[in-house]
Amino acid sequence: MTACVAISDVATPHVAVGAPARSRHRLRWLILIGVLAGLGGLGLWPFARDWFIPPVVPTVVPVPVVAAVAQAGDVPVYLTGLGTVQAYNTVTVRVRVDGALDKVVFVEGQDVKAGDLLAQIDPRPFQAQLDQVVAAKARDESLLANARLDLQRYQGLAALNAVTAQQRDTQLGLVAQDVATIRNDQAQIDYAVLQLGYTRIIAPIAGRTGVRMIDAGNMVHATDATGLVVLTQIEPISVLFTLPEDDFTAVNRQMAAGSLTAAATNRDDGAVLGRGTLLLINNQIDQTTGTILLKATFPNPDHALWPGQFVDVRLLVETRHGSVTVPAAAVQRGPQGVFAYVVKADDSAEMRPIKVSTANATGPLSLIDSGIAAGERVVIDGQLKLRPGTRVKIVPAAPPPP
């Protein structure tokens, strides 16, 4: 019994010592597996995180643009050309007789009427000539009266055969000669009156005087190359302008149907300086430039048009009814042709090809033949940031600079 107990006591400690050893071995394996799993998880995390974390959807920021609505209505169509203002009439006032210039009545830059006195030449020599021929006529009239009395005497004596018929006929010739002399005297008087009248230099037309080219006190001659002053009529006034020869048919057809109106505008800001009517189309086309010359007349009551001034002339050739117009800034040009960005109902931009009329519409507008309907929104500012399908946000236009 003692031996068995001893054997049992020895075996029991062996079992008690072996169990913790296996537990420690298992724990080491578990730790190793955990470490390997952690290392593997770190390596696969970039691929696995998309399974567990939802993707971030990028926020689309609309592009701010300025838009306008295409309009429909009656659109006046203009042809525009470069023009030069010309005086309706230009006269270089010259003297007609020789003499001393006594006085100059006009003021440079003065508006004068036809018949107004501009200057005066010393009239005394011409008055003396007039007095001389008037006296000569009075003398010859006395001689004529005496010759007629003698003719009556000769006719009575000839009836009594107291004088010959030759004497009577001679006296008849003397009377006729005196009558012709008086007629010549009258012509001399008329000429002297005319020369005396030329000493008063008057305005031949209504207009504005220019720079005085000769002063009072100088001797003037009818053959002088330099005149006294240049007088220009600026009310009304004319404008000569050109258009391409391709426009000739349309202008000629409309002019045959009735008068055409024209507007002269400032070349800098487009302000209207005057409105008038087309007067003529030149009788030939300039082959060197391929243009046709036209002339329009303007009332010019405020003298906004001035001779020598360069202006733009807009000639109204027709009015199109129910046409679509958009601001000119909406029209873009690219490799594929002319287009415009149209804002659709979902506020996305559509790049749409359009056809623009070659005629000029009213003001800064473009006349659309096709591609845009009335009521559609078109982008007029901000096109450089757009692509087809880009979301847009319509903002008000920036105020003009002060």
**Domain residue spans in the chain?**
18-57, 65-72+322-394, 79-86+234-320, 94-220
For residue 394, the surrounding DSSP H or E stretch is: strand 392-394
**Confidence at residue 58, expressed as pLDDT on a 0 to 100 scale:** 61
User: What is the DSSP-derived secondary structure letter of residue 122?
Assistant: -
Looking at this protein, which amino acid is placed at residue 243? L
Could you tell me the fold of the domain covering 65-72+322-394?
Answer: 2.40.420
In the numeric block, the tokens 């042709």 are attached to 337
Q: What does pLDDT average to in each consecutive run of 10 residues of the chain (402 residues)?
A: 39 46 64 61 53 59 91 86 94 95 94 95 96 94 89 81 81 89 94 96 95 94 93 95 92 89 90 94 92 96 94 90 89 91 93 83 76 93 90 85 66
**Confidence at residue 147, expressed as pLDDT on a 0 to 100 scale:** 86
The DSSP line for 141-209 is HHHHHHHHHHHHHHHHHHHTTSS-HHHHHHHHHHHHHHHHHHHHHHHHHHHHHHHHHHTEEE-SSSEEE
Specify burial of residue 359 (Cβ count, 10 A radius: 0-12, 13-18, 19+): buried
**Confidence at residue 162, expressed as pLDDT on a 0 to 100 scale:** 77
* Residues 46-56: tens digit of each pLDDT: 555 555 555 65
Q: How many H-runs (helices) and E-runs (strands) does the chain carry?
A: 4, 20
**C-alpha to C-alpha distance for 307 and 119, rounded to whole angstroms:** 25
Residue whose C-alpha is closest to residue 247's, from 219, 285, 212:
285
Q: Which CATH number fits domain 94-220: 3.30.70.20, 2.40.50.100, 3.30.450.90, 3.40.50.12280?
A: 2.40.50.100
* Residues 242-256: tens digit of each pLDDT: 999 989 998 999 888
Confidence (pTM): 0.64
Q: Which CATH number fits domain 79-86+234-320: 3.40.50.1000, 2.40.30.170, 2.60.40.1890, 2.40.30.10?
A: 2.40.30.170
**C-alpha separations of 371 from 168, 354, 387, 394 in Å:** 106, 4, 18, 21
